[in-house]
Homo-oligomer: A and B are copies of this chain.
Amino acid sequence: MTSASPNTQLDRIHAYWQASNYLCAGMLYLRDNALLRRPLHADHIKRRILGHWGTCPGQSFTLTHLNRLIVEHDLNLMYVCGPGHGAAAVLAHAYLEGHYSERYPECSQDEAGMLRLFQKFSAPGGVGSHCSPHTPGSIHEGGELGYSLSHAFGAAFDNPDLIVAAMIGDGEAETGALAASWHSSKFLNPARDGAVLPILHLNGYKIANPAILARIPHAELLALFEGYGYRPIFVEGSDAPAMHRKMARALDQCVADIHGIQARARASGPKTRPCWPMIVLRTPKGWTGPQRVHGHAVEDSWRAHQIPVSDPAGRADELHVLAEWLSSYGPEKLFDAAGRLIPELRALAPAGHRRISANPHANGGNLRRALELPDIAGHQIAVPQPGVHTAQATQVLGEYLRDVMRMNLDRFRVFGPDETASNRLSAIYDASGKTWMAQLLDSDADGGNLSPTGRVMEILSEQTLEGWLEGYVLTGRHGLLSTYEAFAHVIDSMFNQHAKWLDKAKHLVDWRTPVPSLNLLITSLVWRQDHNGFSHQDPGFLDVVANKSPDVVRIYLPPDTNCLLSVTDHCLRSVDYVNVIVADKQPHLTYLNGPDAMRHCQAGIGVWEWASTFVPHEPDVVIACAGDIPTQEALAAVAMLKQMFSGLKIRFVNVVDLFTLIPDQQHPHGLSDDAFDRLFTLDKPVIFNFHAYPALIHKLCYRRRNHANFHVHGYREQGDVNTPFELAILNGIDRYSLAMDVLKRVPRLRTCSAAHMQTLLALQAQALAQARAEGIDSDDIVNWQWPAAGPLRH
């Protein structure tokens, strides 16, 4: 390997690795003299040295060997870079493969282009030190740790020819999300899905601490991964020639195992869950870098995490160490006169779409095929009169999703944390059972709905599910995740990162094409947490969502069944959003027939004339609402007010698309100020009954002209084990509280309202007492009947 020109294949592999290590180090340090053609000088060093060396050599080593594997076996292989701040190695390989220059022509395949790559790395206006939408070949935002393995599995589902190599950092491995996601193998069907090859990188250290998995005995490490259901192959050491041989052997073994597992499963169906191979790669942190600096160990230490030599521009001894280190890779032998990788090494990398950096699945929009969708008319329910009949919206949705599933058995999955049935979506099982590769018992035949070929994914880990779904949509497929509202917060941070990915991919990366939206159905809502109580009452996920870029998030609160269908149909057609749909799973009143629901949802907001008492001119009060249960209570309030004050002019506004409330300059769905004022008036009181925390409405509307007259009712963190009705009263979203607020706010009612206020208080107390005495989920009290005369029109 020290010969002038690399002769054997392992020599060439070693040289390729050296080239990539050189680029990584160059990215950290150099702003000039990219190929060390002149003696290294302080002026060649970046003013501010930022980046992370520690993880690079191990990742480069792996990527180099994966290249060999791809070429030798003609593999369709993706790479997910899990270790924190691991982008340098991935960028180096994308550059060596030529694909980076195709995407970013200024970083051409010559010395000047290489220098530009160095300069833009971890520099303002450039690219970060972890993988991002900018990174060719990546579907994984590497800024936050823990999601590499679930992303890898998400990519592998329904891609039978794909192998996803998931490099997992030993720091990342300590996170909850990662620790749970090892069990994903119980949901991967080798007959239908691709393979995931986990490569745990025991780099030894995190930022400032040893990694736990690097400090447990070999026997425990082996047992842990056998316990997770894998067959770990250990590749450990620091002697490069020996390590190359070990890694090559290990990867050959993995491919043979994977192909064997797949062949057996595809020949005769998956009989049992296979034991998938994985690699435990133990290499020194900062391998091949400086061993010691100023008397402290750097290689194989946490000191190699970021910058091994911190001030080479300022200290001659450090400059010397850096020059020695960079020279040790022999860039003059690796790159030709123009600065391009020498042909013998270029030949090592796969070509075209086989290049890891150019794998088509990593730009999933290109592979996206729109869903075939059933006509929702076939699922809409009859609503002859508003507010008379009830329906269970998510149950009807389940039937619609069943048909979506049937029509898209190659590219649609439904995800849920053991709650698909609890959320009333179980009609889906008629089209496809639940994926299950773990043990099956005879008793499962009785309603278990479990099958290796199932397409409903249920594991009690919101993080794993969200990671799967992200990986699935980023590789161009479609899905929907339903989850209990309060526990959507478990994936707050994952949502944030996915939204940020979409935002950057849309606006900064022209070669990324639109991917299917990620659809979240938030159900088991705050207002129906009877026996679950306070811990299950948290509608705050919407506040997290509303903080993200308006270009990538949507929030829908369909008021009834047909609206839920309409909204979901829309979301399943959309791209590049996170769509959040809020709909309760209990039976609720229905208001809109199919066509009306579609019109209403398309507008996103509108006056319900049939519920209003006075449409054409200025009303006395606007009663507005968003959310199924708040809508019901708002309508009930109107019904009472109509009886009390026959002349009261009420306009009733329902909001489905929450972002219609923001000014149009701030969100593409936002109403213009004029349109907003036409709905909400310039000066009349607006009593707004909202599903979630009331401040969110103020946050959206505070710039509106009539905002000072908005009085928002919503969840105020007042709850316990209550009947739904009592919970509504405690938080002031019940019909009586709303009606009383109208009495307070409408000037001409103030004089005549004392008696009515007493009446309402008495009615509220009576209803509450009745609900308490019944001690039940008093639907009879909560659900209100529209007066038999039907809607009033004026």
**Which A residues lie at the B interface, using CB under 8 A?**
46-48, 50-51, 119, 122-130, 132, 141-146, 171-172, 174-183, 186, 206-212, 215-217, 219-229, 296-297, 300-303, 418-422, 434, 436, 438-441, 443-444, 446-448, 450, 458-464, 486-487, 489-490, 492-493, 496-497, 500, 503-504, 508, 530-536, 538, 540, 543-544, 546-549, 693, 695-696, 698-699, 702, 707-708, 717, 720-723, 726, 771-772, 774-777
Q: How far is the CA of A146 from the CA of B461 in the complex (A)?
A: 9
| A143 proximity list for chain B (CB < 8 A) | 486, 532-536
Q: Contacts A124-B721, A212-B183, A548-B717 known; A145 to B460 CB distance under 8 Å?
A: yes
**Could you say which of B128, B487, B775 contacts A531, with CB atoms under 8 Å apart?**
B128
A175-B490, A222-B227 given; 18 more Cβ-contact pairs under 8 Å: A122-B531, A122-B721, A132-B535, A171-B460, A174-B183, A179-B179, A216-B439, A220-B226, A221-B227, A296-B447, A297-B443, A489-B493, A492-B493, A503-B534, A504-B534, A538-B547, A540-B547, A696-B699
Q: How far is the CA of A121 from the CA of B320 in the complex (A)?
A: 74
CA–CA, A301 to B46, complex, Å? 64
Distance, CA A221 to CA B439, complexed state (A):
13
Known: A143-B533, A216-B438, A702-B707. A450 touches B210 (CB 8 A): yes
User: Which residue of chain B lies nearest to A702 when distances are taken between CB atoms in the complex?
Assistant: B698
Q: In whole angstroms, how far apart are the Cα atoms of A693 and B228 in the complex?
A: 41
**Can you report 21 A-B residue pairs in the complex whose CB atoms are below 8 A from each other?**
A51-B531, A123-B721, A124-B772, A128-B531, A129-B531, A172-B460, A174-B459, A175-B460, A175-B463, A208-B421, A209-B448, A209-B458, A210-B441, A227-B228, A486-B493, A489-B496, A496-B540, A500-B535, A699-B699, A702-B702, A707-B708
- The answer on a CB contact under 8 Å between A533 and B132 is yes
| Complex CA–CA separation, A172 to B536 (angstroms) | 16
- Oligomeric state, in number of copies? 2
Pairs A-B, 9 closest by C-beta atoms: A224-B227, A143-B535, A176-B176, A489-B493, A223-B227, A179-B179, A215-B438, A174-B460, A695-B699
Cα separation A180 to B146 with both chains bound (whole Å)? 11
Q: Which residue of B lies closest to A50 (CB)?
A: B531
Shortest distance in angstroms between A300's beta carbon and chain B's nearest beta carbon?
8
Name the CB-closest residue of B to A722. Answer: B124
Query: A216-B438, A547-B693 given as contacts; is B47 within 8 A of A774 (CB)?
Result: yes
Residue from B183, B418, B540 in contact with A171 in the complex, judged by beta carbons closer than 8 Å = B418
List residues of chain B with CB within 8 A of the CB of A180: 174-176, 178-180
Closest CB of chain B to A662's CB: distance in Å?
A: 10
Contacts of A458 in B (CB 8 A): 208-209
Known: A171-B418, A438-B210. A124 touches B775 (CB 8 A): yes
Q: Please, how many angstroms separate the alpha-carbon atoms of A534 and B502 in the complex?
A: 12
Which residues of the other chain, B, contact A547 by a CB distance below 8 angstroms? 538, 540, 543, 693, 695, 717
Chain B residues in 8 Å Cβ range of A717? 503, 547-549
Within 8 Å by CB of A125, from B51, B422, B464, B722, lies: B722
A221 CB, min distance to chain B CBs, angstroms: 7
The answer to whether B141 touches A207, judged by C-beta atoms less than 8 angstroms apart, is: no
A653 to chain B, nearest CB (A): 20
Give complex CA distance A361, B180 in Å: 30
Closest beta carbon of chain B to A478's beta carbon, Å: 23
Given A207-B421, A721-B128, the answer on whether A461 and B535 have CB atoms closer than 8 Å is: no
Q: Does the CB pair A492–B210 fall under 8 Å?
A: no
Q: Which residue of B lies closest to A695 (CB)?
A: B699
Question: Shortest beta-carbon distance, A304 to chain B, in Å?
Answer: 12
Selected from B126, B492, B720, the residue in CB contact (under 8 A) with A508 is: B720
Q: Are B141 and A535 in contact (CB under 8 A)?
A: yes
Of the candidates A178, A436, A508, A775, the one having the most CB atoms from chain B within 10 angstroms of its own CB is A775
CA distance in complex: A127, B535 (Å): 12
A623 to B454, CA, bound (A): 60
Complex Cα distance, B224 from A436, in Å, reads 20
**Given A492-B492, A695-B699, also A209-B418 (CB < 8 A):** yes
- In the complex, A489 Cα to B466 Cα: how many Å? 15
Q: Return A531 CB to nearest CB of chain B, in Å.
A: 4
Instruction: Give the distance to chain B from A753, nearest Cβ to Cβ, in Å.
Output: 22
A543 cross-chain contacts in B, Cβ below 8 A: 540, 543-544, 547
Report which of B126, B497, B720, B776 forms a contact with A47, defined as CB distance below 8 A: B776
Closest to A698 in B: B702
What residues of B have a CB within 8 angstroms of the CB of A144 in the complex?
486-487, 490, 535
Q: Most B CB atoms within 10 A — which of A127, A419, A492?
A: A492
Cβ–Cβ contact A497 & B460, under 8 A: no
A228 surroundings in chain B (CB, below 8 A):
220, 224, 227
Q: State whether B693 touches A460 (Cβ < 8 A).
A: no
Q: Most B CB atoms within 10 A — which of A142, A216, A548? A: A216
Please indicate the chain B residues that have their CB under 8 angstroms from the CB of A182 in the complex. Answer: 179
Tell me the complex Cα distance, A547–B215, Å: 41
Tell me the bound Cα distance from A504 to B721 in angstroms.
Answer: 12
Asked whether B174 lies within 8 Å of A461 as measured between CB atoms, the reply is yes
